[in-house]
Amino acid sequence: MLDWMVWTTPVAVFFSCIALMLAGMTIWEIKSPTTLRKGFLPIATTRGDRLFIGLLGAAYINLAFVGLSGKFAEWLQLEQDPSVWISFAISIAALVLVMRKG
């Protein structure tokens, strides 16, 4: 059923983190309902809104990194493409920024 998916360690960690975040946010919402607040995003958002926006941003960062990794290797004269763990770390940092300050 999932033969089309390349389940490498970074991919498994990425999807595991998403599942854990969704479970954690569900528990947090049940324990402490959220209210709208305005951060640097141009709209008032709840925790769930910021999580969704942050996850979309993380996905786009990962896709851009995978798409450009060959160019990065060429530009930086690397012997091989940079590790996807770099995009994972950047994605998590962007997600945390949106969740805390968005």
pTM: 0.74
Distance CA 54, CA 45 (A): 12
Strand, helix or coil for residue 21: helix
At residue 1 the predicted structure's pLDDT band, cuts being 50, 70 and 90, is low
Those residues whose C-beta lies under 8 Å from the C-beta of residue 99, and which sit 6 or more positions away, are: 47, 50, 51, 54
Q: Is the pLDDT of residue 70 over 90?
A: no
